[in-house]
Structure 1
Amino acid sequence: MGLLADVYEMLNTCNKCGSCHTACKTYKVDGAETRVARGRVQLIKAVADGNLDPNDPVYEDAIMSCLVCGECALACPSGVHANELVMVARRDLKLRKGIHPFAKSFALKTLADPQKLDRGFKLFRGMGKSTLEKIDGMEFFRGIDIKNMPVAKKAFLEQVPERITVAHPKHKVAFYVGCFLNQSLDGTAHSVVKVLTKNDSDVIIPKDQVCCGLPQYAYGDYETAKVNARKTIKTFLDNNRDAEVVLTACGSCASMLKEEYLKLFADEPAFLPKVKEFSDKVVEFSQYMAQIGVDKSQLHNSIPTKVTYHDPCHMVRGLHITEQPRQMLKILPRVEFVEMNEANRCCGASGLVQAFYHEISTKITREKTSNIKDTEADVVATTCPACMLRLQSGISLAGQDQKVMHVADLMAQAYQD
């Protein structure tokens, strides 16, 4: 039974009522029972009972196509967290099979290694992007707008000093940048720093940052995830103890650093106190700004803007942060905030799911972009870089003209230099 023995009771808790059908985005795409929480739970139970070969391609498709968005858990009257069961099943499958298929393994190894990731982005920003643009039909690769995908001319960590100080600091923040803000959305990383310094915060930006380990963790490679987690804890806790908080502007990274590290090291009780000490210092950007209070005296917007907000899965169901980003948007002058229908539903990104199950992701994103269009907003704000890239691609693919921005970008724009 392997690892599945640990969750066998929850597998048996599913009463097969089908309430999850109303919540599951992947099920709504094609109506396959193997792509809804109830079906996935039954397949995992079949493997646990020895009635299904874990190498069966139907089983692997079921657990790998899951968005792990957590929406099914909210809909389940029996309290089954199918998303957590899928995570255990992925880990169990990784231990049984040892390695992932080449493409997925290559992607996970690249993300885990900052040097490989940097080389990959340098290649992409050099000849890779222009080459793809010239290939017929490659404007939208697996639902991603290749032509307009932002790529930093130089990684953010190479652009800034390790410490940025203000004249009269009230706070000291260590900024965990994350892969996408570092390599793709560097402008947003600068926005974060600008908002922090405008609100009297010294900012520490350690140069030896690595991926938080979420991609590897999500696909059962706990060993690699632990290596990066240890590096992150050492960098931000041991080497920068003078920082009051460890701040990140990525909801997914925040969830991993604050919540999942504790689960990742659950089998190492001697190390857990340090993990908890670190996790207790982690705070998401909008949450922190709401916590310290924003200096509104310098805020100014010359152009009126209608803004809506998309809740990233890791923010709304992982960290339960929903009001703070909206609060930040509503304090901005000349910004009209309008709520989106199903703002808290998955946009279809879900890490590597969008790459390996792009047909599913594209249809889910289409629903989200339709909801965005209905708001008649000029800007879609969010707090997750992966969602930003996915949403902007979906909007472009739909022929719409909304701009996707991080909450930090809108706030920084409102501060006059």
Structure 2
Amino acid sequence: MRSPVSGARRQSGRFEVPAPRLAQGISITVISGFGVITMLNVLDAVSNYVGLGICLCLVLSLYALQFMVTSAGARQWSARRRGTALVVQALLTFVPMVWIGVAWGSMAGPLGGSILLLLPARFAWPLYGTVTLTILGWSLSAHVPALEVGYFAISTALTGLVIYGLTRLTDLVREVHATRAEMARMAVTQERLRFARDLHDLLGYSLSTITLKTELIHRLVPVNPERAREEVASVLGVSRQALADVRLVASGYRDMSLEAEAASVAEVMAAADVRVEADVDCGRLHPLVDTVLATALREGVTNILRHSKVQSCAITAAVEGETVRLTLVNDGVVPQEKPRDGGGGSGSGLGNLCTRLTQIGGTLTAEATRDGRFRLVAEAPVRPVTVDAPDSGGKPSASVA
């Protein structure tokens, strides 16, 4: 298996440099080019080797500072460090002009770019304009030709803008790639949550059913072997369905029917000696709404069987206007029972159902009533809508009975 190439990727038979490095490389090349231009301008003003050596050291020092200012971490510098960097760069820009003259004026462009990068906009732009005007005034006072006056002023302004624009563009490219990587990590996390949520919703019910039917078989074997064999066949059917559900979860696709789920629930409750009144008359529902409400019914029944001493249960579902309402009411509530599920981000329990319903524009209400019953109401629009799931909200109003 071929390992990925570090720092580049192969596309169309050639290597493509990642955008952040490409943008940074362009910035470094342009800033280095400005340094070379500065040295070419100085060659006309300084003829001895000692002077050229000093100028070279000054240019290298100033552009080393410039590279630091344009680095990604410079935007996080403290105010004191920013001020120090600008003062040092200003000294390296204007002090040599006393000796070399206006030929050193091209160094003011990088200073303007640094001001724009390190200072707030309300201070940066006036100071940037002041630097440009200073070079313009210095050129006029040196009695240089008018064309050179325009050249120094315009080159100063443009150099500052180019350095500022390239640096900000490089920062933007880094941010875009960091955001893309974060989105990829979020997508992986969401898929893991989906997988965990579906496994909980599907297998929790199936395993509870298998447990109940196995207990029933255990009681029937001594007294009614024929009925026990029938229940064994039923358990096998549930286990095969659980296996199929796992495969569907892995493939990311699972449709459920509210009516079929209600019929299955009635059978399971009857096996647990629970009286069930079911009235599900919703007609044909949108597949997404049908699946979410069937999941809500399955989770509600699973919680009833696990966390209550239920003897009777009523299930109703009907379409009211543009809303489908599913209501599940049971007795046998344990008053001291604390919430077992319900964290909106837990990926399980009632919190999981809140997330599912919220994502299609629905709501979930769960509460213990005064007559010792527990009521679960799931509402969903007939036409599902896409709504961002809450980060931490959407918890049900009461614990599972």
TM-score range, shorter chain: under 0.3
The structure whose Rg is larger is 2
Work out which structure has the larger RCO, using CA pairs closer than 8 Å and 6 or more positions apart in sequence: 1
TM-score relative to the length of structure 2: 0.22
